[in-house]
Chain A
Amino acid sequence: MSTAPDFRTRLQDWLPKLVLAPSFAVTLLFVYGFIAFTVLLSFTGSKMLPSYNFVGWLNYQKLWALPAWNTAIVNIAIFASLYIIICTAVGLALAIFLDQKIRGEGVLRPIYLYPMALSFIVTGTAWKWFLDPGIGLEKVMHLWGWESFSFTWIKDGDMAIYTIVIAAVWQTSGFVMAMFLAGLRGIDNEILKAAQIDGASNWQLYRRIVIPLLRPAFLSAFVILSHLAIKSYDLVVALTGGGPGRATEMPATFMYSYTFTRNQMGIGASSAVIMLMTIAAIMVPYLYAELKEKK
């Protein structure tokens, strides 16, 4: 008679953890270890290669004094807020309209959503030439007889950032539509019927009942969009290349150019840390709440 578990039972107890261990170890090293290393670098005077002469907060002070970084911050603020607001508005409107027993919904939905399957590089290429005044929209309008039409945002330092908003909205608003549509379809029809019996007009129905019930979808959309916005690198590279001049510099492009082309690794690292902090401030509470309620 033994009370110690037999070998097979013990092995079975350990197997699950053994199977999970490599992934966890890789995550700890390649994500959290790397984050720690980058944080460390941001406090060093690393130039082209990592070095370990610590300079305290110097990189951060330099960073915030750089006009390029300030441009990047202003741009990301403009881009992220417009992108999130417009995507949400377009997505919500499309979802509500599509939810009105629309004939051909099965055709429209995939059309709204397909840009999400494309690379930002493809999106950027398409919009870059379409918005190019020399061959694109402006020229088309002129050829169609609207001689005074002018659309030169992509070449205009003050307006170029808005072309990035257009292309980004084009790419992801269909996705937001799908999220809201799923939320709408999840609402109990009896609640809507009850509200109609209570005498609510369509407008009141949506404003007072439906939209408040979509709160979780709003939250998810906000989190996903803001995380996409802060990470946006490819689209800027493909659409404007950060230009004209440095007019559409964003933190992601800033980080890349300072680290790999300007040999200012310490400053590049500190900008990456700031990007991480911003995303973490949004993602961590969200993930925490999501995982908590699942338990």
Chain B
Amino acid sequence: MAAVTQDTAVSMGRIARVFIYLLLLLFALFYLLPLYVMGINSVKPLAEITGGNMMALPQVWTLDPWRSAWSTAQIGVEPTGLKPYFLNSILMVVPAVAISTIVGALNGYVLTKWRFRGDTWVFGLMLFSCFIPFQIVLIPMAMVLGKLGLAGTVPGLVLVHVVYGIGFTTLYFRNYYAAFPTELVRAAQIDGAGFFQIFWRILLPVSGPIAVVSVIWQFTNIWNDFLFGASFGGTSQPMTVALNNLVQSSTGVKEYNVHFAGAILAALPTLFVYFVAGRYFVRGLMAGSVKG
């Protein structure tokens, strides 16, 4: 192409442009609104919410709802706050993300650089497993976790998330490594490097970007998961399940400000990742539609 520019060749009139800006701003408000509502109402006394305007800024600023959500709010039957559940989520997410990313990298390496007959089928079967409605595996999974003694434990949740996460991580690394020249692998073979040496010395050093994508995607997905956490969490429930318990509890007064603070607490880690590494987050979403 002669001129590589990002803009389209389309040009519009002045009025049309004003209209477009207005519309885009309106949508920005729509997307920001819930965040705003959560934010300001999490630093208000409860009375200001029930007796006042949800959109108004607090008259009295307070961090009590955050303290309550974090350490004293009633979750289920225990007044523990969300803290232990936050910890559960961390303990679950870190190993699950690490394992599924490493396994995905190796799988992607094999599926692109050591191709064998039927490899596309193997990959297809693994990939489809990302898209199944997980309801179809809930019953047998509950039985197997019970048999393994992992029901209601963090390791059990790690296992579940690794099993149903490797399809996506494999997809990422496979698409990424597919664009990596196979001649390099052949050259390394002639140079005498073995299977793991080639992976370690040749492919891994250039896998940074896709590893970030995979880590972010897995982190977001596993952190945000609710179904597995609710089904197999037992006494080791993750943050999302705890938040839901907090919000849905039917006893006592509804402490909306605490609910909002809890919701933000549950959202903070993924939001943080999103704003720090948004570029990779978008890339992961794109790759999730299979095209590499």
Contact = CB atoms under 8 A, between A and B. Distances in A.
Are chains A and B touching directly in their complex (CB below 8 angstroms)? yes
A121 B194 contact: no
B243 to A, nearest CB: 5
B91 interface: no
Interface in B254-270: 256, 259-260, 262-264, 266-267, 270
Interface in B99-139: 103, 106-107, 109-111, 114, 116, 120, 122-129, 131-139
B32 interface: yes
B259 A19 contact: no
Contact of A126 (B24, B125, B126, B263): B263
B88 interface: no
B123 A125 contact: no
B131 A279 contact: yes
A119 B226 contact: yes
A241 B248 contact: yes
A26 B33 CA distance: 43
A189 to B, nearest CB: 6
A170 B31 CA distance: 7
Contact of A27 (B129, B196, B225): B129
Interface stretch (B1-9, B72-80, B150-158, B201-209): B1-9
B21 interface: yes
A237 B226 contact: yes
Interface residues of chain B: helix, strand, loop or mixed (majority): helix
Contacts of B180: none
Contacts of A35: 132, 136-137
B20 A97 contact: yes
Interface in B1-35: 1-3, 5-10, 12, 17, 20-21, 23-24, 27-28, 30-35
Q: From DSSP, what is the main secondary structure of chain A's interface residues?
A: helix
A290 interface: yes
A242 to B, nearest CB: 11
B108 to A, nearest CB: 10
B31 A111 contact: yes
A165 interface: no
Interface string B43-58: 0000001101111000
A227 B30 contact: no
B243 A121 contact: yes
A20 B110 contact: yes
Interface string A158-195: 00000000000010001100110010110111101100
A238 interface: yes
A83 interface: no
A77 B227 CA distance: 22
B136 A100 contact: no
A109 B194 CA distance: 45
Contacts of B144: 30
Given A50-B143, A275-B133, A117 B273 contact: yes
B213 interface: no
B24 A202 contact: no
B127 to A, nearest CB: 6
Given A35-B136, A108-B28, A20 B267 contact: no
B285 interface: yes
Nearest to B124: A291
Contact of B231 (A129, A188, A260): A260
A100 B10 contact: yes
A27 B126 contact: yes
A32 B125 contact: yes
Contact of B120 (A98, A129, A295): A295
A234 B133 contact: no
Contacts of B137: 30-31, 34-35, 38
Contacts of B24: 94, 97-98, 102, 108
Contacts of A37: 139-140
A130 B34 contact: yes
Interface stretch (A56-64, A67-75, A148-156, A280-288): A280-288
B20 A20 contact: no
Given A185-B6, A189-B9, A120 B226 contact: yes
A16 B195 contact: yes
A272 B259 CA distance: 32
B290 interface: yes
A125 B21 contact: no
B277 to A, nearest CB: 10
Given A130-B33, A272-B135, 5 more contacts: A23-B107, A139-B53, A216-B291, A280-B128, A287-B128
A-B residue pairs, 8 tightest by C-beta: A16-B114, A119-B224, A117-B274, A220-B289, A234-B226, A126-B34, A31-B129, A192-B9
Interface of A: 8, 12, 15-17, 19-20, 22-24, 26-28, 30-35, 37-38, 41, 50, 90, 93-94, 97-102, 108, 110-123, 125-130, 134-137, 139-140, 143-144, 170, 174-175, 178-179, 182, 184-185, 187-190, 192-193, 196, 202, 205-206, 216, 220-221, 223-224, 227, 230-231, 233-234, 237-238, 241, 251-252, 255-256, 259-260, 265, 268-269, 271-273, 275-276, 279-280, 283-284, 286-288, 290-291, 294-295
20 contacts: A23-B170, A31-B137, A34-B141, A37-B139, A38-B139, A113-B278, A117-B274, A118-B270, A126-B34, A126-B35, A129-B54, A135-B54, A140-B54, A189-B3, A237-B226, A256-B138, A259-B139, A276-B135, A276-B136, A283-B131
